[in-house]
């Protein structure tokens, strides 16, 4: 079921919409099944890389399922980097797009995001912008300003671009290693941003927890993940803030890989993907349910 106002409802009712990336069909299925079971709205997102890997025709296969879910569900382009990439996603039937101009100087980011909003809004597609630097994928960015989102810039950005939601940098990072040393999230900056743009749903990227449980299962069963350092208990109370969309990808990759490695390590003759996918699904559903209930508080909302 498509409902493009899901973030506005989350803002009003104090919960977050989980936004899960998917990289294969098993993960897509686990997300939808768990969200329907727990009556949680959901954003299903594809990175440019994931979109390329599936291919346009195969991505369109997901749309009938997304449109027939019992809970609100939108297909979203994650970290779209160019106008062409946005246009391609909209032509394919995406309901929502992110234009990530965070590596650009403020003026250029505003210009690109404004162009995307003008195009997308005409087609009834919602737009997420980004200000500040969320490390990981953006590590090599030639970023001229502060790593954290500047609250005054946020006000100007929203006013000039007419963006529907804004990804903010408050200290989270993409990937498996969230912090080099001491974890530090700037909830003070988040509060200042909220005061400047009180009606705009905010988005938290890099929100995977990187739980030791799944890293340990992988490492016990032939894997070798050495630098994993997560957010763990840092998101308590997130649903009370204006963060309305919480982006998680790495946690699903960890859960899926843990399930597969565990099964294959003790079933040496296994060749049926349904068998090891079943074990991966157990961990996927466990992680998805945990984030819905304990981080997003988005269960039983529909
Ligand atoms: O924000 C980044 C996502 O985790 C996507 O990563 O480009 O490897 O698909 P990817
Ligand atoms: P993680 O790497 O923490 O899962 O972040 C994913 C993300 O922000 C996708 O846009
Ligand atoms: Zn991201």
Output the pLDDT for position 285. 98
Reported confidence tier of residue 136, pLDDT bands at 50, 70, 90 = low
- Average pLDDT of the residues of the chain: 93
Say which residues have a Cβ less than 8 Å from residue 104's Cβ, sequence separation at least 6: 112
Reported confidence tier of residue 143, pLDDT bands at 50, 70, 90 = very low
Pocket test for ligand 2, best of 20, 43, 44, 249 (most atoms within 8 A of CB): 249
pLDDT tens sequence across 80-114: 999 999 999 999 999 999 999 999 999 999 999 99
Tell me if 177 sits within 8 A of 230, measured CB to CB: no
Instruction: Give the Cα separation of 98 and 46 in Å (integer).
Output: 10
Output the pLDDT for position 181. 67
pLDDT beyond 70 at 239: yes
pLDDT tens sequence across 203-230: 999 999 999 999 999 999 999 999 888 8
Question: Of all helices (H) and strands (E), which one includes residue 97?
Answer: strand 96-99
pLDDT beyond 60 at 186: yes
Domain ranges of the chain: 6-209+231-249+280-296
Output the pLDDT for position 185. 87
pLDDT beyond 60 at 137: no
Mean of the pLDDT values across residues 243-271? Answer: 98
Q: 200 C-alpha to center of ligand 3: Å?
A: 18
For residue 178, the ligand 2 atom closest to its alpha carbon is: 3
Q: 242 C-alpha to center of ligand 1: Å?
A: 24
Instruction: Find out whether the beta carbon of 206 lies less than 6 Å from any atom of ligand 2.
Output: yes
pLDDT beyond 60 at 146: no
Pocket test for ligand 2, best of 185, 250, 255, 290 (most atoms within 8 A of CB): 250
pLDDT tens sequence across 147-170: 899 999 999 999 999 999 999 999
Reported confidence tier of residue 1, pLDDT bands at 50, 70, 90 = confident
Mean of the pLDDT values across residues 11-17? Answer: 97
Reported confidence tier of residue 290, pLDDT bands at 50, 70, 90 = very high
Instruction: Give the Cα separation of 276 and 195 in Å (integer).
Output: 48
The helix/strand/coil state of 190 is: helix
Ligand 2 atom 3: residue of nearest CA: 206
Share of the chain above pLDDT 70, in %: 95
Output the pLDDT for position 144. 37
Fold of 6-209+231-249+280-296: TIM Barrel (3.20.20)
Measured from the alpha carbon of residue 176, the closest ligand is 2
Q: 47 C-alpha to center of ligand 1: Å?
A: 6
pLDDT tens sequence across 28-77: 999 999 999 999 999 999 999 999 999 999 999 999 999 999 999 999 99
Q: Which residues line ligand 1 (CB under 6 A)?
A: 21, 47, 49-50, 78-79, 137, 174, 249
Catalytic residue among 78, 95, 100, 249: 78
Sort residue 162 into left (φ over 0), alpha (ψ -120 to 50) or beta. Answer: left
Q: Is 78 a catalytic residue?
A: yes
The helix/strand/coil state of 181 is: coil
Output the pLDDT for position 140. 36
For residue 253, the ligand 2 atom closest to its alpha carbon is: 4
């Amino acid at each position: 079921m498509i409902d493009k106002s899901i973030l506005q409802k989350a803002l009003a009712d104090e919960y977050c919409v989980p936004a899960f990336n998917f990289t294969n069909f098993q993960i897509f299925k686990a997300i939808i099944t768990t969200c329907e079971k727990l009556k949680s709205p959901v954003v299903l997102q594809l990175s440019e890389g994931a979109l390329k890997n599936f291919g346009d025709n195969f991505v369109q296969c997901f749309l009938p399922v997304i449109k027939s879910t019992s809970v609100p569900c939108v297909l979203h382009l994650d970290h779209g980097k160019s106008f062409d990439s946005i246009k391609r996603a909209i032509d394919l039937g995406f309901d929502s797009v992110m234009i990530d101009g965070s590596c650009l100087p403020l003026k250029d980011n505003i210009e690109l995001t404004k162009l995307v909003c003008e195009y997308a809004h005409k087609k009834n597609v919602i737009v997420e912008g980004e200000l500040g630097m969320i490390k990981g994928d953006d590590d090599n960015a030639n970023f001229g300003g502060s790593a954290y989102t500047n609250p005054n810039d946020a006000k100007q950005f929203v006013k000039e671009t007419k963006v529907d939601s804004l990804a903010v940098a408050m200290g989270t990072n993409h990937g498996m290693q969230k912090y080099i040393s001491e974890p530090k999230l700037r909830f003070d900056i988040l509060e200042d941003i909220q005061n400047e743009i009180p009606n705009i749903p905010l988005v938290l990227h890099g929100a995977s927890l990187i739980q030791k449980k799944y890293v340990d299962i992988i490492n016990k069963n032939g894997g070798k993940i050495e630098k994993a350092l997560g957010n763990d208990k840092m998101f308590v109370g997130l649903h009370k803030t204006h963060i309305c969309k919480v982006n998680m990808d790495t946690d699903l990759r960890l859960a899926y890989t843990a399930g597969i490695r565990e099964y294959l390590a003790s079933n040496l003759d296994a060749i049926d993907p349904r068998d090891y996918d079943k074990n991966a699904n157990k961990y996927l559903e466990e992680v998805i349910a945990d984030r819905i209930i304990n981080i997003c508080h988005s269960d039983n909302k529909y």
